[in-house]
Amino acid sequence: MKIELAENYGFCFGVKRAIKIAEENKNSATYGPLIHNSKEIARLEKDFQVGLSDDYKSFAPGDKAVIRTHGIPKNELEYLVANKVNVIDATCPYVTKPQQICQEMSEAGYDIVIFGDATHPEIKGVQSYAIKGAYVVTSPQELASIKLSEKVALVAQTTRKVEEYLAIANFLIPRHKEVRVFNTICNATFENQDAVRKLSAKADVMLIIGGKNSSNTKQLYSISKANCSDSYHIEDESELELSWFKDKKLCGISAGASTPDWIIQNVIDAIKKSLD
Amino acid sequence: MKIELAENYGFCFGVKRAIKIAEENKNSATYGPLIHNSKEIARLEKDFQVGLSDDYKSFAPGDKAVIRTHGIPKNELEYLVANKVNVIDATCPYVTKPQQICQEMSEAGYDIVIFGDATHPEIKGVQSYAIKGAYVVTSPQELASIKLSEKVALVAQTTRKVEEYLAIANFLIPRHKEVRVFNTICNATFENQDAVRKLSAKADVMLIIGGKNSSNTKQLYSISKANCSDSYHIEDESELELSWFKDKKLCGISAGASTPDWIIQNVIDAIKKSLD
């Protein structure tokens, strides 16, 4: 069986940047997981003493608080600053952007629609910048019962599929005088999704490696599954099953934006070893 | 054979308003045809002495110049005003709107894309308000070779089909940071198109009455033709052919926004008479 990596996969710009920031700030703590990959977080704790707190009120004045790639809600950031916590911002710049858009658009009087998962930290953060609130939806159907004004601004979670974003835009455009569509889906997402689309069309078994709570990994898996029914979303090599590879010719591999190369390499090594 | 009129058809708000303005301004002349219906224009000339000039430079100071529903290019309007022509503006307010949008958006640094027919007077007028120019297209394919900036504003000819407008928006959104989509297709267009869609799905012969150069009439005809192959675009009763109605059960009728009721009534009377 041949193993082929997708043309684009794994760590994105924002994740690389955040890990570098964390590594440069030993003896700090992130507020919430820095990225959606528990193994990489464990490595940062072990090698760089970067801890993890789930409560922003746990930071004392002078403590170093690293803000996760997904960003945090505005009021929590304001609390940290007001309490003289040493804030180290590792929010991905592609996430800061929709936060700014939400703030500017609500100040300019637009109703705001966010395409994304309301329970995801990125979206909780982005939504908090809409000073008059925002509607968070994952499908046009959810908009049917919402009364919006004539002017609507639309932003997307950075890791979403563009086809689904367009479906929401297409619902709004005929119903409103102006729809201001901000393309906040990040390029890494576009590129990784395109590469999975291509690879899963020819592979007969696909592995998508990444955190089970990682939004972008879940999107990659859903694209892969549509093309290749033998697609598996795993966090690491411990989940591999030999039966997946029986009589297969090409195993395609991709990984989410928060999956480090060393985990991908461990998976490849384990497959090769099992096939020996 | 039964004859059924579409739920919405014929004169729209802007055309009714323009005819009223023309009737109130005897001994004037329109610059270009007031609406795309030569018979109604002949009636205005006969009953209200409203003439027609095809050259804006033909108006002398003090002359009454009625501006057509489709609007005119900005520089021509400025010429008329500068030359102290008595300008009577019958531009449809739904056309004034995209003119204003073009001006505002180009001042705000957006690249402008207009979905419409570059040779249509409405679009010539709208385009002239884009101070740095605008791209006029009828399909996404035409955009493929055009290099646009990160911020794009999109407006549509008032009489276009919304599905085709969305296709253009869908092409632009993934390729640009921000696409500001203005829904400038007018409600009368929406309503007349919806009604034709409904009626042509059940009729076995369809008549669409309106000027051969009328954009909105052509759109109605194209929608009708897709549902009912026996669809005919006529200007008046003189074009009717008896063979169209042979063995037909339901004749659906709609008319463009510039088609007066009296022409529609003449068509209905002629069909009834021929079937007697």
The pLDDT tens digits for A194-235 are 999 999 999 999 999 999 988 899 999 999 999 999 999 999
Mean pLDDT of A66-93: 97
Are residues A53 and A30 in contact, defined by beta-carbon separation less than 8 angstroms?
yes
Report, as an integer, the average pLDDT of B20-31. 97
Q: What is the Cα–Cα distance from A261 to A132, expressed in whole angstroms?
A: 41
Cβ pair A183, B177 in contact under 8 A: yes
The C-alpha atoms of residue B101 and residue B189 are separated, in whole angstroms, by 19
A194 touches chain B (CB under 8 A): no
Structure letter (DSSP) for residue B175: G
Say how far apart CA B99 and CA B142 lie, in whole Å. 22
Q: Is B131 helix (H, G, I), strand (E, B) or coil?
A: coil
A183 shares contact with chain B (CB less than 8 Å): yes
Phi, psi of A74 (to 5 degrees): -55, -45
Convert chain A into a string of H (helix), E (strand) and C (coil): CEEEECCCCCCCHHHHHHHHHHHCCCCCEEECCCCCCHHHHHHHHHHHCCEEECCHHHCCCCCEEEECCCCCCHHHHHHHHHCCCEEEECCCHHHHHHHHHHHHHHHCCCEEEEECCCCCHHHHHHHHCCCCCCEEECCHHHHCCCCCCCEEEEEECCCCCHHHHHHHHHHHHHHCCEEEEECCCCHHHHHHHHHHHHHHHHCCEEEEECCCCCHHHHHHHHHHHHHCCCEEEECCHHHCCHHHHCCCCEEEEEECCCCCHHHHHHHHHHHHHHHC
The predicted model gives A107-117 an average pLDDT of: 97
Q: How far apart are CA A53 and CA A32, in angstroms?
A: 6
Tell me whether B183 touches chain A (CB under 8 Å): yes
Residue A276 predicted with pLDDT over 90: no
pLDDT at site A189? 86
Q: How far is residue A34's CA from residue B56's CA, in Å, rounded to a whole number? A: 67
What integer is the mean pLDDT of B237-241?
96
Q: Which of the four pLDDT bands, split at 50, 70 and 90, describes residue A275?
A: confident
**Strand B151-156 to A151-156 pairing:** unpaired
Please give the pLDDT value at position B114.
Answer: 98
> What band does B224 get if pLDDT is binned at 50, 70 and 90?
very high
| pLDDT tens digits for range B74-106 | 999 999 999 999 999 999 999 999 999 999 999
- Quick check: helix, strand or coil at residue B87? strand
Residue from the list B165, B170, B180 with its beta carbon closest to the beta carbon of A166: B170
The residue annotated as part of the active site, out of A122, A163, A164, A241, is A122
- Specify the pLDDT at position B247: 95
Q: Which residue out of A148, A165, A183 would a mutagenesis test of the B interface target, given it has the greatest number of B Cβ atoms within 10 Å?
A: A183
Tell me B234's DSSP state.
Answer: E
Residue B237 Cα, gap to closest chain A Cα (Å): 35
Single-letter amino acid code for the residue at B50: V
The verdict on a CB contact (< 8 Å) between B176 and A190 is no
Rounded to whole angstroms, the Cα distance separating B31 from B69 reads 10
pTM value is 0.86
* Chain B residues 162-181 with CB within 8 Å of chain A: 162, 165-166, 169-170, 173-181
Known catalytic residue: A164? no
Confidence of residue B189 (pLDDT cuts 50, 70, 90): confident
Q: What is the pLDDT of residue B120?
A: 95
Residue B109, burial from CB neighbour count under 10 angstroms (0-12, 13-18, 19+): exposed
d(CA A137, CA A118): 7
Residue B162 with chain A: CB contacts under 8 Å: 173-174
Measured torsion, CA atoms of residues A246, A250, A255, A260, in degrees rounded to the nearest 10: 80
CB B180 to CB A176 under 8 A?
no
pLDDT at A142: 97
Residue B234 forms contact with A (CB below 8 Å): no
Q: What's residue B125's pLDDT?
A: 98
A153 in Cβ contact with A133 (< 8 Å): no
Q: SS3 of B247, please?
A: coil
Residue-level pLDDT at A213:
87
The packing angle between helices B93-107 and B13-23, to 10°, is 110
Tens of pLDDT along B100-153?
999 999 999 999 999 999 999 999 999 999 999 999 999 999 999 999 999 999
With CA atoms as reference, report the closest residue to B14 among B85, B90, B98.
B90
CA distance A188 to A179: 25
Q: Mean pLDDT in chain B?
A: 96
Q: Which band of pLDDT confidence, cut at 50, 70 and 90, is reported for residue B56?
A: very high
How far apart are the C-alpha atoms of A223 and A229, rounded to whole Å? 10
